[in-house]
Structure 1
Amino acid sequence: MKIYAVADIHARSHRLENIRAGIAELEPDCVVIAGDMISYFRPGPVFAALEALTVPVFVVRGNSDPAYLEKHLKRLSNVASLHARKTVFKEVPLVGISGAIPVPFRSRIRFLEKGLFARIKPLVGQDTILVVHPPPYGMRDRVGGKVSAGSKGVRSLVEETRPAVVICGHIHEDAGIDRLGATLVVNCCMTGKNRGALITLEPGREPDVEMLYKNQKE
C-alpha cells in the first residue's frame, strides 16, 4: 500500500494543488493529513478540495484546526477523522490523535495527556501507522535548528507501543525522516520546497519512505 502523507496545508491553495498533482503522479492508495488543514477559519474550500480528491483521505486536526471541524468531517464521504480510533484500510491499521498534545506553543486545541494516551495505547500495535500533529520529542522537532519542540507524551507512547510509522508535522523547518527505536518518524510538512512524503508498505518488509520536493523526489 502507498500512503501520500502531508501536513500543514494551512488552507494554501498551492498546497492543495500539490496534493492533487501528487496523487496523479504517485498513484497512492490514500492521503493522510497530519493536522493543520486550515488556519482557524474558512474550512469550506479546503474540505471541498479534499472531498474531491480521487483517493480516500484520513486526517487528524492540528493546533490550527478548531474542534468544530469534527462535525464537518462527519458530513464528508471521502474524508475521515482518525482521532482516538483505529481505522483499518487495506489491512493496515491507522490510529490518530488530534490536537497539539501539549507542546511549547500556545494552541486552541489541548488534551489532558493522561486520559488521552490511556485511550490510545490499547489501539496501537507494531503494525500501526500512528498519525499525530506534533513530532515525538527529539524527533524532527527542532525550531531554528536548536530547540526541540515535540511532544514528550507522543514520544512515550511511541516508545511503549513501537508503531511501524509515525506520521507528523507541526515543526515546519524540520521536515524529514528519523527513527525512534523500531519506529520510523516522518515529518511531512508542506512548507517551503516540501511536498510531503510517500510511504510504501509491503507485508514482511520495512516501510519505505521518500520525502517529496518540488520538481523532484529525494
Structure 2
Amino acid sequence: MKILGISDLHGKLLELNNLNEEIDLIIVSGDITDFGPVELAEKILNKLTSYNVPVLALPGNCDLPETVDIIEKSGTINIHNNAIEIKGIKICGFGGSNPTPFDTPFEFQEKEIYNSLKNIISKDTTILVTHAPPYNTKVDQIQSGDNVGSKSIRKIIEEYQPKVNICAHIHEARGIDQLGNTTIINTGPAFEGKVAVIDLDGEVNCKWIKIR
C-alpha cells in the first residue's frame, strides 16, 4: 500500500495534480485549519476526496472540536478515537495533542490520550495515526531542542509496536525515527507544500516530496 501523508495544512487548499505517484490512500493527520472555521475544513476535505482515493483524517490541536463532525460528513473516514480496517490493513488514530502552552482548541491530558488509544489499538494494528508525535524522538523536537511530544503515544507505541506511526504537529521536526519495530514518520507542514509518500510494501519506505 502506498499512502500520501498530509498534515498541518493550516487552511491551505492543496492541489495534487502535479503528484506523480500512484496513491492507494490519503491520510490527513491533523491541523486541517488554523483555529477554524469548520467550513474551511469541509472545503479542504472535499477537495482531497475529489481525487477518488480513500481519505482518512483526524483533527489536530489547532482544529475546532466540531471538525470531527465535518470529517464524518465530508465523505472522509474519521479516524479520531477510532479503529478501522481498509484493504486488509488495521489502522487506528487519535487527534489533537497533549497540552501545549498555547491553549489550542483540541488538547487532551496524557491520561485521556493513553486510555483512549488503549481502547482501540491491538497487537495487529499496522498504522497508528496521531497528530502529536511520540515524546523524546527526532520528530518531536522544537527549535530549542526540547522534546514536546506525547508521553502516552510513546508508551502505546512501545507496548503495541504498530508497523508505522504517522504523525505531525511539530513543523520543524519533519523526518523519521524508530521506536523498536515501529517507524515514526512526521510528514511535515503541508501548508509549505511538504508531504510524504509512505510505501508499506515490505519494509517501510518514505519519500519526501513537495507539491503546490
User: TM-score when scaled to structure 2?
Assistant: 0.88
Q: Identity rate of aligned residues, in percent?
A: 30
For the aligned residue pairs, the C-alpha RMSD in angstroms reads: 2.1
| Residue 16 (structure 2) pairs with residue 12 (structure 1) | no
1:103–1:150 CA contact under 8 A, matched in 2: no
Q: 2-side partners of 1:110 and 1:190: how far apart? A: 19
Q: Deviations over 1:148-185 (max 9, x none)?
A: 11111111111111111000011001101111111100
* Other-structure match for 2:196: 197
Conservation of the 8 A alpha-carbon contact between 1:175 and 1:194: no
Q: 1:46 to 1:194 in 2, by over 3 A?
A: closer
How many positions carry a matched residue from both structures?
Answer: 207
Q: CA deviation at 1:141?
A: 1.1
- CA distance in 2 between counterparts of 1:179 and 1:117 reads 20
Q: CA deviation at 1:104?
A: 5.1
Range 67-76 or range 102-111, more displaced: 102-111
Which residues of 2 match residues 131-142 of structure 1 at below 5 A?
131-139=129-137, 140-142=139-141
Q: Write out per-residue CA displacement over residues 77-132 of structure 1, whole angstroms, 9 at most, x where no aligned residue.
A: 2x111012211111111100011133454321123433442232252325420000
Counterpart of 1:73, as a letter, is I
Return the match for 2:48 from 26, 47, 50.
Answer: 50
Shift of 1:75: 1.6
Question: Residue 30 of structure 1 corresponds to which residue in structure 2?
Answer: 25
**CA-CA distance at 1:190 after TM superposition:** 2.6
* Cα distance, 1:102–1:75 mapped onto 2, change above 3 Å: same
User: In the alignment, is the contact (CA less than 8 A) between 1:34 and 1:62 conserved in 2?
Assistant: yes
CA distance in 2, matches of 1:153, 1:102: 12
Structure 2 CA distance, aligned partners of 1:213 and 1:120? 31
Paired position in structure 2 for 1:167: 166
Contact 2:58–2:68 at 8 Å: present in 1 too? no
Are the equivalent residues in 2 in contact too, given 1:5–1:197 (CA < 8 A)? yes
The answer to whether structure 1 residue 121 and structure 2 residue 118 are counterparts is yes
SS in 2 for 1:55: coil
Q: Corresponding residue for 2:2?
A: 2
Moved more, 40-49 or 136-145: 40-49
**Equivalent position of 2:87 in the other structure:** 90
Listed one character per residue, the Cα deviations across residues 29-72 of structure 1 (whole Å, up to 9, x for unaligned) are: 01001100111223243133123222011011101111111222
Name the residue aligned to 1:143. Answer: 142
Structure 2: runs of 5 or more not aligned: none
Report the residue type matching 2:31 in the other structure.
D
Q: Secondary structure at 2:18's aligned position in 1? A: helix
Match of 1:155 in 2: 154
Matches for 1:65-76 after TM superposition, within 5 Å: 65-76=63-74
Which residue pairs with 2:34 in the alignment? 39
The residue aligned with 1:186 is 185
- 1:65–1:168 Cα change, 3 Å: same
Separation in 1 of the partners of 2:6 and 2:169? Answer: 11
Match of 1:147, SS?
A: coil
